[in-house]
Amino acid sequence: MATLAQKIRAEQKMRELLEQNGLPPPDAVEYGYTCVRLFFYESKTVVVVDIDKPPPGEQLIEEEEDPAQRPSEHT
């Protein structure tokens, strides 16, 4: 799990990067367990900054299995 200090640094770096490139600041920011999410309402965009690997037992979205391949709960 990323520390609070790592999350704050990641947010600050992203804000600096956005400002340096003439982009608007995020409308909202959320700190996850292993990431920081920056929300931009007008463009309906979310930027996710991964800081740390997920905790044991958790999967990255890209690693999740295809729901169509899961066995049915009713069988």
Mean pLDDT of successive 10-residue stretches along the chain, which has 75 residues: 91 97 97 95 96 70 47 47
Say how far apart CA 26 and CA 14 lie, in whole Å.
9
Q: Which pLDDT does position 59 carry in this prediction?
A: 63
Say how far apart CA 47 and CA 75 lie, in whole Å.
39
In a domain, 62, yes or no: no
Q: What domain count does the chain have?
A: 1
Q: Which pLDDT does position 52 carry in this prediction?
A: 78
Starting at the earlier edge strand, list the strands of the sheet with 45-50.
28-31, 35-40, 45-50
Q: Which pLDDT does position 40 carry in this prediction?
A: 98
Structure token pair of residue 47: 């930027």
Q: For residue 44, what are the domain limits? A: 4-55
In a domain, 73, yes or no: no
21 close to 8: Cβ distance less than 8 angstroms: no
